[in-house]
Amino acid sequence: MTISKSNKGISRIDSGSTHGWFVRGYKNGKTYSKLFSDKKCGGKKKSLQEAKEFRDKLSKKLDKIPAAPRPRRIVSKDSRNKTGVLGVCRTSKRAPNGTVYECYSVTWRPEPGIQKCTSFAISKYGEDKAFELAVAHRQKMMDKIFKKKSPLKNKKKVTKKKSK
């Protein structure tokens, strides 16, 4: 059964002694709902009409409520991560002259919807130093974003995960 656009947000309930149209609207994680009983409204058609009127008023009311900002998620681990430090990965890049080089890439999100990245070349710094610089840079960016200690700060020395 497909729902026409004219009945968007309206569901029919025929269960036990309950018969009517159920209107639902959502805003900022909160649900607004009301049941329009066939018996109280004077029939199936009248209850649907009242449900549509209520839905339209509710929609206008919900449109006036400003959207609440979404809270930032703090992710502390990811099974796909091979270095052991979230936001730091070992990768290869191609330079503008075509040379391919290995490096540790660092990514972070200063604000929702924006991603920044930088990298530290292994040929320039060496394997361990490039990794340390990448971790330190990631930590610096996390501290800037959250203006407090992030989970990396509490560890004495971060070491890479061993590859299997």
Which pLDDT score is estimated for 124? 95
57-92 confidence digits (pLDDT tens):
999 999 999 988 877 666 666 777 788 888 999 999
Mean pLDDT over all residues of the chain? 86
Which residues, 6 or more positions from 18, have their beta carbon under 8 angstroms from its beta carbon? 35, 37
Per-domain residue ranges of the chain: 7-64, 88-153
Q: Bigger pLDDT: 161 or 126?
A: 126
Whats the size of the chain, residue-wise?
164
Local structure of 124: helix, strand or coil? helix
Residue 85, CA atoms < 13 Å, CB-side half-sphere: 27
Which residue, 116, 3, 10, 117, is CA-closest to 58? Answer: 10
Local structure of 78: helix, strand or coil? coil
Considering the entire predicted model, what is its pTM?
Answer: 0.50
Which residues, 6 or more positions from 28, have their beta carbon under 8 angstroms from its beta carbon? 65, 67, 68
Residue 73 sits at φ, ψ, to 5 deg, of: -90, 135
**pLDDT tops 90 at residue 128:** yes
Distance of CA 69 to the CA centre of its chain: 12
Banded pLDDT at 156 (limits 50, 70, 90): very low
**pLDDT tops 80 at residue 155:** no
**pLDDT tops 60 at residue 140:** yes
Residue 163 sits at φ, ψ, to 5 deg, of: -75, 140
